Chain A
Amino acid sequence: MAKKLLAAAALIAVAAGALFWLLTAPRSISTAALPQHQPDLENGEAMFQLGGCANCHAVPKAEGDERLKLAGGLELATDFGTFRVPNISPDEATGIGGWSDADFVGAMQRGVSPDGAHYYPAFPYASYARMRAEDVLDLKAYLDTLPAVSNEVAGHDLAFPYNLRRGLGLWKRLYLSDAPVVSLTADAERLLRGRYLVEGAGHCGECHTPRGTLGAMREDAWLAGAPNPEGKGRIPNITPHADGVESWSEADLVYFFESGFTPEFDSVGGSMVAVQEELARLEKSDLEAIAAYLKAVPPRPSAGR
Chain B
Amino acid sequence: MFRSLTLALLVSSAVAAGVAYAQGPIAGEGAIQSRQAIMKSYGAAAKVGGGMAKGEIPYNPAVGMLVLATLNAGANSVGHFFPEDSQTGGDTEAAPKIWQDMQGFNEKIDELQGATEMALASQPADLDTFKAAFGDVAQNCKSCHEDYRIEKN
Contact = CB atoms under 8 A, between A and B. Distances in A.
B143 to A, nearest CB: 8
A302 B143 CA distance: 27
Nearest to B46: A265
B46 A234 contact: no
Interface string A247-278: 00000000100011100111111110110100
A192 B150 CA distance: 33
A268 B142 CA distance: 6
Given A261-B46, A273-B145, A232 B150 contact: yes
A contact patch SS: loop
A127 interface: no
Contacts of A274: 146
Contacts, number: 60
B151 A265 contact: no
Nearest to A269: B145
Contacts of A269: 142, 145-146, 149, 151
Interface string B134-153: 00001001110110011111
B130 to A, nearest CB: 15
Contact of B141 (A228, A235, A267): A267
B80 interface: no
A231 B20 CA distance: 38
The winner among A225, A228, A234, A266 for most chain B CB atoms within 10 A is: A266
Interface in B1-60: 43, 46-47, 49-50, 54
A262 to B, nearest CB: 9
Nearest to B48: A265
A233 interface: yes
Contact of B50 (A233, A234, A235, A265): A265
B151 A267 contact: no
B146 A265 contact: no
Contacts of B145: 267-270, 273
Interface of B: 43, 46-47, 49-50, 54, 93, 95-96, 138, 141-143, 145-146, 149-153
16 contacts: A228-B150, A233-B151, A233-B152, A235-B153, A236-B153, A261-B50, A261-B138, A264-B43, A267-B141, A267-B145, A269-B146, A269-B149, A271-B146, A273-B142, A273-B143, A276-B142
